[in-house]
Chain A
């Protein structure tokens, strides 16, 4: 083997190939020319192939191209060697080159074989053109659609802008409206504060006035009594004057007492404590206070507290309400029949309903409904009364989130219905 390569360029033991052509110049020329042209072509083609490979960086199967270039170049070399061996018989070199060419050819063939399936999938130009056309049509369609979409989009945007403008306008109007309302609310709060203040002042005024007036009236009462004791004249005229003087002082005293009752009621209402009160016990206290009136008028009081025998209230207020209603019922009894007062309870949802019904002279509600619970309004002229009782009843009930209603028929009697709020949440009234 080493021997072979040492003698690669040895030509001493062979005849030049030209001997085969018998050195005939026509064959020699034709062979040399043919081999030369082929060799030149075989060297030119790979250069172009390499050039293509270099320029087209996107080229697929670059290896195949390069192998083919190399293979063709190798073939070219064999042709030049053939020319060379016509005169120089270096057949060992020629065989080696041909062998190397054969190896490269086989490698190229294998490489091409491997690339065939992929190369087959490479679309032809026409196919590409067709595809291109289709694509262009598609693109045109898409562009159309996009244009349409853009138009719709523009319209939408316009609408949104219009709507937004409208909304902003509306919002501004609303803000203005809110401002106006806030202003009104502020005014209301101010007015309310003012009213509360005025009301407080008025309460205070009534309280102070009634209190300050009490002393001189009490004194006047005492002075009249003292005067009567000191004056010993037995004269019917003087006596009459005393009686009228007494009456006037008494009346003043009563009015002032009522006034101070009313103002005390307004002052006390928020500092009192509520508890569950047994109706029959409180009623008995009232009966004791009114015992004389009940005895004189022979009034019968019938009770029915089966539905509820207690209300959630303050003792003082419950007593005051019962006292006022029962004393009214006695005061306005009918002279035609024995006075009967029926007091009963009912369950009325959120309320306990306490009814005080009498068989007295009754009230003409059509005429007097508005006046009946007003301060210092008396519907009857011939009965002693100051017109404070029902006002107090109404005020107490309303201060305690309850209410009072009245039903009446002239000549038959009246029924006052008191709605006491049931104890809702124990916490509300704790402490």
Chain B
């Protein structure tokens, strides 16, 4: 499987995060997995990253893939996406965002489409990751 620079998991459920982290490690998708618990934390983190001009030692690595839950306290996934649009386009260009949710409601999938985000229904599986990466790198290259 393709190796990614880093993956950001945004989910308020610890078990979901635990299982997803475990899965990503098993398939060795990346060496850098960052876990955050809601949209607010995630936005602050991404905003801070976008302001760093150079990557220094010991600093967080910019993720290549973000897996985003919808229902979270403080700030939900869609609110995060709304704010995220305001970050510089250059910064966002090489980041792939996929919503990871239990909902298959058309309203949610439609919204994801609106924000140009992929949509995966839980549970996350190896096959789903593979499909997502294939789809993304096939269309972007």
Contact = CB atoms under 8 A, between A and B. Distances in A.
A223 B16 contact: no
Q: How large is the interface on B (under 10, 10 to 19, 20 to 34, 35 or more residues)?
A: 10 to 19
A223 B22 CA distance: 10
Q: How large is the interface on A (under 10, 10 to 19, 20 to 34, 35 or more residues)?
A: 10 to 19
Interface in B43-81: 71
Interface in B97-116: 102-106
B19 A223 contact: yes
B19 A219 contact: yes
- Chain A interface main SS type: helix
A264 B16 contact: no
B103 A211 contact: yes
A377 interface: no
Contacts of B15: 216, 219, 222-223
Contact of A226 (B16, B22, B102): B22
Contacts of B13: 215, 219
B88 interface: no
- Chain B interface main SS type: loop
B112 to A, nearest CB: 16
A222 B123 contact: yes
Contacts of B19: 219, 222-223, 226
Given A214-B122, A264-B104, A267-B105, 12 more contacts: A211-B103, A214-B102, A215-B122, A216-B15, A218-B102, A218-B123, A221-B123, A222-B15, A222-B19, A223-B15, A226-B19, A268-B106
A316 to B, nearest CB: 8
Interface in B1-24: 13, 15-16, 19, 22
Interface of A: 211, 214-216, 218-219, 221-223, 226, 260, 264, 267-268
A219 B16 contact: yes
Contacts of A221: 123
Contacts of B105: 264, 267
B22 A215 contact: no
Contacts of B71: 211
List the 6 closest A-B pairs by CB distance, nearest first. Answer: A214-B102, A222-B19, A219-B15, A218-B122, A218-B123, A222-B123
A218 B105 CA distance: 17
A227 to B, nearest CB: 11
A225 B103 CA distance: 22
A56 B103 CA distance: 120
A216 B104 CA distance: 16
A175 to B, nearest CB: 51
Contacts of A214: 102-103, 122
Contacts of A215: 13, 16, 102, 122
